């Protein structure tokens, strides 16, 4: 029975272990979901302000690289900016998520039933903003 519970809560177990490592050893752990998903991972984990800021940063980066690199924009982006982005999300994703979770728990968000309705509307707005960008 305990084995079934562990298999059904893989994400929960993963974050418990990652947060424990951050709390006790102050060490980051690699998060493949954050590295691959990027902004979509931020939205999924309800970190909307960070998702919005990274979307603005992406737009600015694309604009600046297009001005500098011109026709070679795609090559420059995937050789320079994309690996940096993957590293930042993968290496620091758990730390940022941990800080957000601690803040929400301290404010009592986990006790509010209405919070889920609020967050769903933010997801819709964030997806629309990303789609329009």
For every residue of 63-81, DSSP letters joined together read HHHHHHHGGGHHHHIIIII
pLDDT for res 125: 73
Q: Enter the DSSP assignment of 38.
A: T
| Confidence at residue 1, expressed as pLDDT on a 0 to 100 scale | 41
pLDDT digits (tens, 9 = 90+) for 2-22: 454 455 578 788 888 899 899
Q: What is the pLDDT of residues 69-108, one digit of tens each?
A: 777 777 777 788 889 999 999 999 999 999 998 888 887 7
Residue 112, pLDDT score: 61
Angle (CA) 83 88 89, round 5°: 100
Neighbouring residues of 52: CB distance < 8 A, sequence distance ≥ 6: 126, 129
Average pLDDT over residues 41-51: 92
The percentage of residues in the chain with a pLDDT greater than 70, rounded to a whole number, is 82
């Amino acid at each position: 029975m305990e084995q079934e519970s562990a298999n059904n809560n893989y994400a929960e177990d993963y974050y418990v272990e990652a947060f424990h490592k951050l709390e006790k050893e102050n060490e980051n752990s690699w998060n493949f979901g954050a590295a691959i998903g990027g902004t979509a991972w931020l939205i999924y984990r309800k970190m909307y302000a960070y998702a919005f800021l990274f979307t603005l940063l992406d737009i600015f980066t694309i604009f600046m690289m297009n001005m500098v690199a011109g026709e070679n924009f795609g090559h420059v982006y995937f050789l320079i900016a994309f690996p940096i982005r993957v590293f930042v999300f993968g290496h620091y994703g758990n730390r940022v998520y941990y800080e957000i979770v601690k803040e929400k728990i301290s404010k009592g968000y986990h006790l509010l039933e209405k919070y889920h309705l609020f967050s769903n509307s933010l997801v819709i707005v964030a997806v629309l903003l990303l789609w329009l960008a």
